[in-house]
A and B are shown apart, each in its own frame.
Chain A
Amino acid sequence: MAQEAGAQPVVLRLSEISKSFGALKALDGVSLSLARGEVLALLGENGAGKTTLMNVLFGQYTADRGSVEVMGRALPPGAPRAALAAGVGMVHQHFTLAGNLSVWENIVLGTQSLWRGRIGARAARARIADLAARFHLAVDPEAKVGRLSVGERQRVEILKALYRDARILILDEPTAVLTPQESDALFATLREAVGQGLSVVFISHKLHEVMAIADRVVVLRHGRMVAERAAAETSAPELAALMVGGALPESEIAPRPAGPALLRLSQVSTRPEGRAPGLREVTLSLHAGQITGLAGVSGNGQRALSDLVSGLVAPSLGGFEIGGVPVSRWSPRAAIARGIGRIPEDRHRTGTIADFDLTENAVLETYARDFARHGWLDWRAARAHAEALIRGYDVRCPGPGTRIRLLSGGNMQKLILGRVLETGPRIILANQPVRGLDIGAVTYVHNRLAAARDGGAAVLLISEDLDEVMKLSDVIHVISEGRLSPPFARGAVSVATLGEWMAGAHFAPAAAGKTGGAHHAA
């Protein structure tokens, strides 16, 4: 339950908000309140429900249950303008600015009736200049937005909200696009704003920023509020553990001696892709007969490592060996040929072709090698293979001619699992293998992965769910900002220690970077 925050009046109150999409409970009874002059950080993994909650507040979604109150007055559900009119301003991750207009035109845009004819430019500019000075938002009102840097555009977005008399500012991942210097400037602005009686909701999954700016932290996980802490009474490692799941579950697999290293990365770096970090001098060995778990807060390089192992991306630096043989000419097809079975993170977009039937999806990786001769496909053999997978992996479906988009996520994942395991891979990449599955399918997938490990395969398990990693892994690495921790043997590490590594502590400083007292805990 939300506690009343200090003596200041509550300006925003969300009560018992629930929202489901089909069988998925995106929000389950979430309540929170925001006081005048307070910075509240909303923390959670991708899919934890942060964005859904804000969409309910802004009337994009209608909640199944619960109510929204701003300044003590209830907002009508499903009315996007009501929140704006009540004084709530939101700065989205993707800015909504017109590049060919000037800064002040963008700010004024939409605030005045079309029928007035005259914009009242002088008064508007004076007001913008005043706001910019008051909140330390340095930006030239006459500049064309198209020429501004990302940081400057964000300032324009904030000015836009302030110009509309927003009393509550919501910032969705505001620092994702900023340099550290710009982030510092943003924090200065936010402190000024709360000093003048505004309230801020700060959505993020960057722990050190949350610790730097927030007064209070609310952690969402799987659509539920799992914790609420005053920032002064918590720590980054505790928050990391809360985000990814806290308890220390018993390991579910019997220990087993490790075999030889089948895949070896030494000092491997990859290029960052967009906002996702690349790998930074990662050293990793995957051993036969072991499950190696990768823990970490999402967006810290999991994608880069997965892309590397699955063949989509080649190292830009460092050594990469499979079975003792250095890798050259790296591609998805080369990865399959080298005996890597890949379970991708997104089974809908990457793992399957929705409009293809089960047969076509079953042979998607092996059609050329196993089901064709001189360019002619043997559909009879392909169909028999699909039928074998359907039986062997308990895929519930009307038949191999069914389009795969009609299957549930669990059955889709079982088909992918079968497609991967039936090729007898020596190395298995399992990226978020049970995300979104029901409990029965989760157990099934985990048992199959454990069986493959017992059969001598080297498994790399990437998951944002710490419980899953700790349950299945023989060895655990933590990934943080593209860097990899040393391996921790199963049972030899506490959740608190893993949380510290996730929050970025303990890593050696970058060679050209700061000096400091980081130490290795391995």
Chain B
Amino acid sequence: MRLEPIAAPSLARRILPPALAILGAFVVAAVLARLAGGAPFAVFSGIVTGAVGSKFAALETLNRATPLIFTGLAVAVAFRAKLWNIGAEAQLYAGALVTAVLGTGALPLPAPLLLPLICAVAMLAGAALLFGPAVLKTRLGVDEVVTTLLLNFIFLLFVSYLLEGPLKDPMGMGWPKSARLVPEARLPRIVEGLRLHWGFVLALIAAALVWVINARTTLGFEMRAVGANREAARFAGIPVTAVTLKTALLSGGLAGLAGFSEVSGLKGALTLDLSPGYGYSGIVVAMLALLHPLGVVAAALFVAAIFVGADAMSRAQGVPTYLADIMLAAALLFMVLAILLTKFRVVRD
């Protein structure tokens, strides 16, 4: 058996395999839910209800989707240019760290000045963290998969050290946690009384901007060209090294925004459990979205709904929340296979 590329895939061939992939993930989850002692239908309806069954649940899903949109965009931008940024987790924490440092009264500015400033510096922090690996890649050929992945651990340990030492909240009862942000440094809620903050809107704006950059600007054209065929891009006079570095700045900046949004909008302080792996989940989101910025929004909502829904379902049905991880992992694996099948057909020799 071998794979044969399809010149012009039909519409059905482009839509059917991804749809089957999602369906396949549900089938796998149903079998596992059964093994865990739950009734598959009750489990799925529990997930749906838990994710969107009430106003509270739906807002929780949107809140959970917010950092995933940012990290998903970060990964999508980088992967599109074949810059394998696995370090969105560390870049997220870089943005969060800057927010916690600048937002706790260090700068006596009013909110309209302070928030944009922190937001910009958080982006710079995330960008700086990916810039190093990108320089090593372009100058010395160091594999960015390794450097960005390992930086995650280094940076988390660094944040852990800061939270146990210089940044530790004196009023924190000994917990490794930074001091709370001053009110001027908090992203306000969209509607008073509801637990959804402006970070979500910022994420939607970011997705729209990335889409415009990709489709309408020379930078987007260059990033796509470098990703699609580096050699042809170089031959055509596209400055490949500069484009790779710009991609790194954009990608890292987007991941940094995730940290800013979480600390300033949701948590109000920096802790080590700020992100339950949003940087890594961003890879899942970007892949499910086929690296399209608007698809990232949809994929982030899907992933967030499953996480939030699974939490609620678990409380009601007694099926472990790990089911959510398995569902997403299965969805991703099936999706990778499905993407292959949209471009190739299997031929038997």
Which positions in A face B, CB cutoff 8 Å? Answer: 310-312, 331-333, 335-336, 342, 344, 349-356, 360, 364-365, 367-368, 372, 375-377, 379, 405-406
Contact = CB atoms under 8 A, between A and B. Distances in A.
B216 interface: yes
B315 interface: no
Nearest to B220: A377
Contact of B218 (A310, A335, A354, A375): A375
B218 A377 contact: yes
Contacts of A349: 229, 231-232
A354 B224 CA distance: 12
A351 B228 contact: no
Given A355-B228, A405-B7, A406-B8, A360 B221 contact: yes
B7 to A, nearest CB: 5
A146 B224 CA distance: 39
A311 B236 CA distance: 10
A354 B234 contact: no
A310 B239 contact: no
A352 B232 contact: yes
Interface of B: 7-8, 216-219, 221, 224-225, 228-229, 231-239
Nearest to B234: A332
Contacts of B8: 406
List the 10 shortest-distance A-B pairs measured between CB atoms, nearest first: A333-B237, A332-B237, A364-B236, A353-B229, A365-B236, A350-B235, A353-B228, A372-B218, A353-B232, A375-B218
B218 A350 contact: no
Contacts of A310: 235
Contacts, number: 64
A433 to B, nearest CB: 15
A194 B295 CA distance: 66
A351 B218 contact: no
Contacts of A352: 229, 232
Contacts of B234: 312, 332
B339 to A, nearest CB: 13
Contacts of B217: 375-377
Contacts of A331: 237
A311 B237 contact: yes
A472 B221 CA distance: 37
Contacts of A360: 221, 225
B13 to A, nearest CB: 15
A352 B228 CA distance: 10
Contacts of B225: 353, 356, 360, 364
A53 B7 CA distance: 28
Contacts of B237: 311, 331-333, 335-336, 365
Given A364-B236, A365-B237, A356 B228 contact: yes
11 contacts: A333-B237, A335-B237, A352-B229, A353-B225, A353-B232, A354-B228, A356-B224, A356-B228, A364-B225, A377-B221, A405-B7
Contacts of A332: 234-237
Nearest to B239: A333
Contacts of B219: 375
Given A332-B237, A354-B229, A355-B228, 19 more contacts: A310-B235, A349-B231, A350-B231, A350-B232, A351-B232, A352-B229, A352-B232, A353-B228, A353-B233, A360-B221, A364-B232, A364-B236, A364-B238, A367-B221, A375-B218, A376-B217, A377-B216, A377-B221, A406-B8
A366 B262 CA distance: 42
A335 B234 CA distance: 12
A185 to B, nearest CB: 34
B242 to A, nearest CB: 11
Nearest to A363: B221
Contacts of A375: 217-219
A364 B235 CA distance: 10
Given A332-B234, A332-B235, A406-B7, A367 B229 contact: no
B235 A351 contact: yes
A312 B235 contact: yes
A349 B235 CA distance: 10
B218 A367 contact: yes
Nearest to B343: A355
Contacts of B224: 356
Nearest to A403: B8
Contact of B235 (A342, A355, A372): A342
A344 B228 contact: no
A344 B235 contact: yes
B259 to A, nearest CB: 28
A375 B218 CA distance: 5
A350 B236 CA distance: 8
Nearest to B225: A353
A105 to B, nearest CB: 30
A83 B218 CA distance: 55
Contacts of A353: 225, 228-229, 232-233
Give the one of B216, B229, B239 with max A CB within 10 A. B229
Contacts of A311: 237
Nearest to B219: A375
Nearest to A310: B235
B163 to A, nearest CB: 41
Contacts of A372: 218
A328 B278 CA distance: 48
A405 B233 CA distance: 16
Contacts of A365: 236-237
A360 B233 CA distance: 12
A368 B238 CA distance: 9
